[in-house]
């Protein structure tokens, strides 16, 4: 059985998120003033660390070829592009 869980992120280059191994990240959005990702998870799966990279528009993006795009989100005048490191 799967459930949708929310994970709060800090707006910084890299976030380390522990989530069940059999999780699929669905999207990223601002919820109020907090950047969040939502994932479909199998709660009984063992936990594993996922690395989330956040890149601002116009900023350098190292290791782009090793990342999977999740979403772009707006926070006031900023636009953040959220990726999972593979």
Phi, psi of 28 (to 5 degrees): -130, 140
Q: For residues 74 and 23, give the distance between their C-alpha atoms in angstroms, rounded to a whole number.
A: 25
pTM, 2 dp: 0.93
- What tokens does 56 get? 């601002």
Q: What is the pLDDT of residues 10-50, one digit of tens each?
A: 999 999 999 999 899 999 999 999 999 999 999 999 999 99
**Exposed (0-12), middle (13-18) or buried (19+): which is 73, by Cβ within 10 Å?**
buried
Q: Is the Cα torsion angle 29, 9, 77, 54 positive or negative in sign?
A: negative
Tell me which residue range forms the domain holding 57: 3-85
Q: Which of 44, 47, 39 is nearest to 68 (CA)?
A: 39
Q: Number of folded domains in the chain?
A: 1
């Amino acid at each position: 059985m799967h459930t949708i869980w929310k994970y709060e992120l800090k707006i910084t280059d890299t976030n380390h998120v522990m989530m069940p191994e059999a999780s699929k990240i669905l999207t990223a959005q601002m919820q109020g003033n907090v950047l969040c990702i939502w994932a479909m998870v199998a709660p009984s799966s063992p936990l594993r660390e996922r690395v989330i990279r956040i890149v601002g528009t116009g900023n350098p993006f190292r290791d782009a070829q090793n990342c999977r795009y999740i979403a772009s989100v707006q926070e006031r005048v900023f636009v953040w592009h959220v990726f999972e490191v593979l």
